[in-house]
Amino acid sequence: MNCVQCSPKYCRSTDSCGAEKFNTEELNLEYNDAQNQKIVQAAAALVDNGLAGNLTRLQEMILFIKSMGYKKIGLAYCYGMEEQAGRLRHIFKNEGIQLSTVSCTVGGLSQKNVNSSSCINNVSCNPIGQAKQLNAEGVDFVIVMGICLGHDVLLQKNLKADFTTFVVKDRVNNHKPLLALD
């Protein structure tokens, strides 16, 4: 499939181009699942009725969390963004949102133990440990903040809660990866 090069763009007018490899009737059943409907409706509230483009990602997260009724939020963050994680925690506290923050170095594991090919004698990032800690704390929703590529895959693969990304790490472009497309 190559949607970028499609010129008729049938899907933009509730029609199909016929290249899909999924069953739309089955998808409609999945979207009608009560939990999926709750998420769809909470997401729609962030863009419908003139809100699209008027909220920051932070404002969207706060409204989404409240709309979904999440009670305990987890923050999996890179230790290099600890100052920003602290500011986010403060903002959430002022919004009445309980936030559990877990650094990527949680557990203090050695890099040699985590990466069998490493000869670096230093503390390692521990995305699986972050996920296990947040799972053990019973968080309803996880925010990912600046976790390295690959580590984010392990984190998300092991989370049992819904999650979203707040910051994507891109050191070269000051955490704005879209700048690489210019």
Q: What is the pLDDT of residue 74?
A: 98
Over range 47-62, report the average pLDDT. 92
Residues belonging to the chain:
182
Residue 76: which H helix or E strand, with range? strand 72-77
pLDDT tens digits for 12-30? 998 989 999 999 999 999 9
Tell me the sheet residues that pair with 145.
Answer: 77, 167
- Encoding tokens for residue 140? 């309803």
Which of 45-54, 68-77, 154-163 shows the lowest per-residue confidence on average (mean pLDDT)?
45-54
* pLDDT surpasses 90 at 49: no
Backbone angles phi, psi at 137, to 5 degrees: -80, -5
pLDDT tens digits for 111-147? 988 988 888 889 999 999 999 999 999 999 999 999 9
Helix (H, G, I), strand (E, B) or coil at 168: coil
Q: How many CA atoms lie within 13 A of 60 on its CB side?
A: 18
**Boundaries of every domain in the chain:** 70-181
Give, in degrees to the nearest 5, the angle at Cα 94 between 91 and 95.
90
CA 26 to chain centre: 26
Q: What is the pLDDT of residue 138?
A: 98
What pTM, to 2 d.p., does this model score? Answer: 0.93
* pLDDT surpasses 90 at 178: yes
Fold of 70-181: Rossmann fold (3.40.50)
Question: Is there a contact between 142 and 99 (Cβ–Cβ < 8 Å)?
Answer: no
